[in-house]
A and B are shown apart, each in its own frame.
Chain A
Amino acid sequence: AQKITQTQPGMFVQEKEAVTLDCTYDTSDQSYGLFWYKQPSSGEMIFLIYQGSYDEQNATEGRYSLNFQKARKSANLVISASQLGDSAMYFCAMRTLYNQGGKLIFGQGTELSVKP
């Protein structure tokens, strides 16, 4: 069964500091993609970063990086130099190419609060 687990319902971080949001996944597929989305209070889902299962290097997008540890099946999101605007819900998601019809499977989400 495909599953995404985010064990941190809520996280706090001081402005300008780095924060790591945890995500573990479970799949028997060899080919899959991992995604992180941000959802501010407005409700829109914003795509942040993508990591393919065959990518050898960790993905980075500006202040976002994905700490991909394939053997441990973890795909943690690291946000550097946190800003007040980073306060939002963050969802980890997985898409497998051969199962689930290409659907995205979401974790439960982590609510990040950035303190000034």
Chain B
Amino acid sequence: GAVVSQHPSRVICKSGTSVKIECRSLDFQATTMFWYRQFPKQSLMLMATSNEGSKATYEQGVEKDKFLINHASLTLSTLTVTSAHPEDSSFYICSASPTGARGEQYFGPGTRLTVT
């Protein structure tokens, strides 16, 4: 149990275009999902907390107009990188915490975004 999927696993896009990444909890409901960004050999950096039915909470320094987050249902959250630039190239990981759980987060397999 507690499986989180993420799609796509890899994406290459041209500078100026937008990219949407989906995060789904497959066998549990998640009121809250989290979006992280990770650079090589570094720790995960939390970008935003996604709450079902309400606006996402962004961490300081994260541009909410650039990284659009939508949590449409208890099993789906999406991250859209708008007007992507090469510096947005990174590994993006989502996680979800089962409702009522002790707080452990289950992570998706990640999406490697390359902006050319």
Which of A45, A95, A102, A111 meets B107, CB within 8 Å? A45
CB <8 Å contact, A44 and B109: yes
Chain B residues touching A, majority SS = strand
Residue of B nearest to A103 (CB): B46
Cα distance A101–B50 when bound, in Å?
A: 11
A12 CB to closest chain B CB, in angstroms? 16
B106 at the interface (CB under 8 A from A): yes
Which of B46, B102, B107 meets A44, CB within 8 Å? B107
* Chain A: interface size category: 20 to 34
Which of B41, B43, B49, B57 meets A107, CB within 8 Å? B43
Q: Which of B74-116 contact A (CB under 8 A)?
A: 91, 93, 95, 97, 102-110, 112
CB <8 Å contact, A43 and B112: yes
A93 CB to closest chain B CB, in angstroms? 8
CB <8 Å contact, A43 and B109: yes
For A95, what are the chain B residues with a Cβ–Cβ distance below 8 Å? Answer: 103
CB <8 Å contact, B95 and A43: no
Chain A CB count within 10 A is highest, among B97, B103, B104, for B103
Contact with B along A39-73 (1 / 0, CB 8 A): 00011111100101000000000000000000000
Residue of B nearest to A102 (CB): B103
Q: A33-B103, A108-B43 are in contact. Are A103 and B93 (CB under 8 A)?
A: no
Residues of B within 8 A of A (CB): 32, 34, 38, 41-44, 46, 49, 57, 91, 93, 95, 97, 102-110, 112
